[in-house]
Amino acid sequence: MSFNVGIDVGGTFTDFFCAHADGGFNTCKTPTTHYDLSVGFMRGMGLLARANGLRLEEFLESVGSVRYSTTVGTNALIERTGPKLGLITTAGFEDTIFIGRGRSWADGMSWQEGRDLARIQKPAPLIQPDMVVGVRERVDYSGKVIAPLKREEVLEKLQTLVDRGAQGFVVSLLWSFINPDHERQIKQIIEEEYPEDYLGSMPVILSSEVSPKAGEYTRTMTAVVNAYIHGLMADELNKLGNELRDGGFRKPLTLVHNTGGTKKSSRTRAVLTHNAGPVAGLHGAAALGKLSGDPNIVFTDMGGTSFDIGLIEGGEIKAHDFIPVIDRWRTNIPAIEVKSIGAGGGSIAWINQTMGNVLEVGPQSAGSMPGPACYDQGGREPTVTDADLVLGLYNPENYLGGEMLLDVDLARKVIEEKVARPLGISIEEAAWRIRRLVDARMGQEVFNEVALKGHDPRTFVLYACGGAGGAHACGFAPYIGVKKVVMPLQSSVFGAFGASTMPIKEVWERSRSLKLFQWAEKAYLADLDSFNSVVAELVDLATRDLRLEGYADADMRFKLELDMRYGSQYNMTRVTAPSLQLTSTADVEALCDLFTRCYGEVYSPEATFPAGGINVDNFLLTASVIHRDMTLKAAELASPEPAAAALRETRPVYWGPSEGHVDTPVYDCARLVSGNRMAGPCIIESRETTYVVAPGWRFTMDAWRNGVLERVLG
């Protein structure tokens, strides 16, 4: 038997999805062990082995691939545990990363924090000012060398950084994305002085390799962030890889990228692993949508720490974050856009006294340690999970299939002390308000994300994923206006499920500014080679990289995307080119027409502005390897009436001040079959998640055992 394992490290739990060759699968969750991620990792692999009736060694020998999304890099940035770095830049530009952009002090902050102008501060720099040196060299905008690099000066500045304790180097010179020769010379000098066989050997990160795009600050910060997390990730992944090999796994560990693909860990740039888990979940929603016939999907994932939002249009992931913020730093990586807010099962409820005793939920989270108060691990703050438990929505003896027992009394105690008593209300009403508040916040964020991109939310299907997604779907769906909600069977481990569906893929970039259309002369680009040569260079780099990973040319596929804009604009619109090369003026005209249509779809046809001319600024080549599509077993639809054995119990659930406690039927998800239908209120419990069907909603299990919610009232 062959297995395909996807793993997603979250703030509270590490999720595992094991796909079988015949379409079956197993899942499990383990608490995230932040002190050493390999502990939770190997614990989960052991659980999967036992679920398949195998010893760990037998299981690992049968695993064909392990796709892993990790938070190691993000944690290193948040905790500032990276190495002491030195930055070598062009003389006169040593203060670029400290000056930043006009509003860099607010990057990565919530809107509430960004409005507090009196107290907001710039983040502590990842590289201290005394660790930045400038070398006298200059390359102009066309790549021509104006002032050559001097080896003696590089050696002098290098020694300065070493004497000050540098443990790694970042090299970012002006216009290096056009001509990287000087950056490469500096790297060669460093490696000659400190070769790999020396104990003093130190990594060298070039901005022209990590982010060959325009934008001095963002290009430099991309390289800095990559260098900062590179070493810690390498250590963590080497440890994981060694433990897997010791256990019998003989394939390379594969990492999930925020570009929507996976690559071997040995050929992955560290910065591309940021936010990979949510991107994997979005990819999983697209794969599941193809099976169920849902082309337009609003993907949401409510976990223990965060709430993720992404869009799928026409069966494709089209939204990209052009200048993604990693922690507090703007970067230039080609990331898929997935928005995250601090709203999850572990989000802490608190009273904002400065606003007049107003109840707030999040963005602070209890995480996995100590976790919600009901976990009985030392948590002393009320969370969303505590509120759901007090309301009767969770079974304290059946959480994670009974592997984790919840303490209702502790949940009631913290809610009474921190929320109910200060507000002068009952414990149940306090818990209900916590739940309503987090649902409203999530619903409004989803509506904004869809509507502000020019879409009608009513034409989309909502996918409610994550361990807490099924419990809150009926709460936040009304704010969006969708008519259908899908709660995937794999929702509690959806990031891991998505990782298992992702192909080998990477994005290669180049910044080149070309005027495709000039309005004054009514002329299209005549020098087609200026366009085609950039694409040919990217294809050559991608082909060489995939060959080194062992893939044949016949299995490679390429897609060209272009960041385009009207000449007088700043923001870009990403367009998928119909072909890799331009062969005639007609091809250029067709590309300009395509841009006009894409621009009009986003901003309305009336907003198009051809009088500004049409430019292309960035080239992005996606190189992927053909892979087998995901297969899941579908079942014949049975009777709408569930079997009597599926009814587990009836328990009182608090549905709000007007309804009070209502005796609510609780069903065992494992005993339901495709076609079963239940009207709310009811609760459906599976081993790893709980589906809450509120009054006025109807639940149906589809052919793939996904839960489908539809509004029947209001």
Biggest CA pair distance of the chain: 84
434 and 535 fall within a common domain:
no
Looking at per-residue pLDDT, the higher value among 65 and 454 belongs to 65
pLDDT bracket for residue 1 (50, 70, 90): low
DSSP bridge partners of 352 = 358
157 within 8 A of 145, measured Cβ to Cβ: no
Mean pLDDT of the 516-542 span: 94
- Who's near 248: CB < 8 A, 6+ residues apart? 56, 57, 58, 59, 60, 61
The domain in which residue 224 lies consists of 81-235
97 and 221 fall within a common domain:
yes
* pLDDT beyond 70 at 14: yes
pLDDT digits over 692-708, tens only? 999 999 999 999 899 99
Give the per-residue pLDDT at 111: 65
**The domain boundary residue, chosen from 220, 235, 250:** 235
Give the per-residue pLDDT at 112: 65
Give the per-residue pLDDT at 379: 86
* pLDDT beyond 60 at 714: no
pLDDT digits over 210-221, tens only? 999 998 999 999
Alpha carbons 686 and 219: distance in angstroms, whole number: 46
Give the per-residue pLDDT at 397: 87
- Who's near 392: CB < 8 A, 6+ residues apart? 651, 652, 653, 654, 661, 664
- Give the mean pLDDT of the chain: 89
> Is 252 among the domain residues?
no
* pLDDT beyond 60 at 323: yes
Residue 633's SS3 state is coil
pLDDT bracket for residue 143 (50, 70, 90): very high
pLDDT digits over 260-301, tens only? 888 888 788 888 888 888 899 999 999 999 888 899 999 999
Q: What are phi and psi of 61, to 5 degrees?
A: -70, -25
Say whether the peptide bond before residue 370 is cis (omega within 30 degrees of 0).
Answer: yes
pLDDT digits over 26-79, tens only? 888 888 887 788 888 899 999 999 999 999 999 999 998 899 988 777 777 777
Mean pLDDT of the 423-442 span: 95
Percent of all residues in the chain with a pLDDT value above 90, rounded to a whole number: 53
**The domain boundary residue, chosen from 423, 438, 453:** 438
Looking at per-residue pLDDT, the higher value among 11 and 620 belongs to 620
- Tell me how far CA of residue 116 lies from CA of 120, 329, 355, in angstroms: 6, 19, 14
HEC letters along 37-69: HHHHHHHHHHHHHHHCCCCHHHHHHHEEEEEEE
CATH, residue 191: 3.40.50
Among 247-251, 364-368, 653-657, the range scoring the smallest mean pLDDT is 364-368
Q: Tell me, what amino acid is at 407?
A: D
pLDDT digits over 405-421, tens only? 889 999 999 999 999 99
Looking at per-residue pLDDT, the higher value among 10 and 55 belongs to 55
> Is 251 among the domain residues?
no
Please choose, from the candidates 10, 8, 117, 129, the residue with its C-alpha nearest in 3D space to the C-alpha of residue 69. 8
> Is 111 among the domain residues?
yes
CATH, residue 617: 3.30.1490
432 and 519 fall within a common domain:
no
* pLDDT beyond 70 at 666: yes
Alpha carbons 240 and 251: distance in angstroms, whole number: 12
pLDDT digits over 190-207, tens only? 999 888 766 566 889 999
Residue 681's SS3 state is coil
pLDDT digits over 607-651, tens only? 888 888 999 999 999 999 987 766 777 788 888 888 888 999 999
> Is 37 among the domain residues?
no
Give the per-residue pLDDT at 327: 85
Highest mean pLDDT among 35-49, 125-139, 559-573: 125-139
Number of structural domains the chain divides into: 3
Residue 179's SS3 state is coil
Percent of all residues in the chain with a pLDDT value above 70, rounded to a whole number: 97
Among 119-133, 185-199, 271-285, 655-669, the range scoring the smallest mean pLDDT is 185-199
| CA quadruple 372, 377, 381, 386: dihedral sign | positive
Give the per-residue pLDDT at 432: 96
Give the per-residue pLDDT at 368: 66
509 and 406 fall within a common domain:
no
Give the per-residue pLDDT at 583: 95
pLDDT bracket for residue 503 (50, 70, 90): confident
Alpha carbons 228 and 290: distance in angstroms, whole number: 39
Highest mean pLDDT among 104-113, 117-126, 354-363, 436-445: 436-445
511 and 611 fall within a common domain:
yes
430 and 520 fall within a common domain:
no
* pLDDT beyond 60 at 355: yes
Looking at per-residue pLDDT, the higher value among 713 and 2 belongs to 2
Give the per-residue pLDDT at 630: 67
DSSP bridge partners of 707 = 487, 701
* pLDDT beyond 60 at 22: yes
85 and 196 fall within a common domain:
yes
Give the per-residue pLDDT at 137: 96
Give the per-residue pLDDT at 676: 94
Alpha carbons 471 and 667: distance in angstroms, whole number: 14
Give the per-residue pLDDT at 423: 93
Give the per-residue pLDDT at 295: 92
> Is 292 among the domain residues?
no
510 and 414 fall within a common domain:
no
Please choose, from the candidates 163, 99, 175, the residue with its C-alpha nearest in 3D space to the C-alpha of residue 137. 175
Give the per-residue pLDDT at 709: 95
Give the per-residue pLDDT at 132: 97
Give the per-residue pLDDT at 684: 95
* pLDDT beyond 60 at 447: yes
> Is 58 among the domain residues?
no
Looking at per-residue pLDDT, the higher value among 602 and 375 belongs to 375
* pLDDT beyond 90 at 162: yes
Give the per-residue pLDDT at 473: 94
* pLDDT beyond 90 at 677: yes
224 and 367 fall within a common domain:
no
Task: Give me the torsion for CA of 562, 567, 570, 573, rounded to 10°.
Answer: -30
| DSSP class of 435 | H
> Is 363 among the domain residues?
yes
> Is 655 among the domain residues?
no
**The domain boundary residue, chosen from 574, 607, 625:** 625
Highest mean pLDDT among 102-106, 245-249, 710-714: 245-249
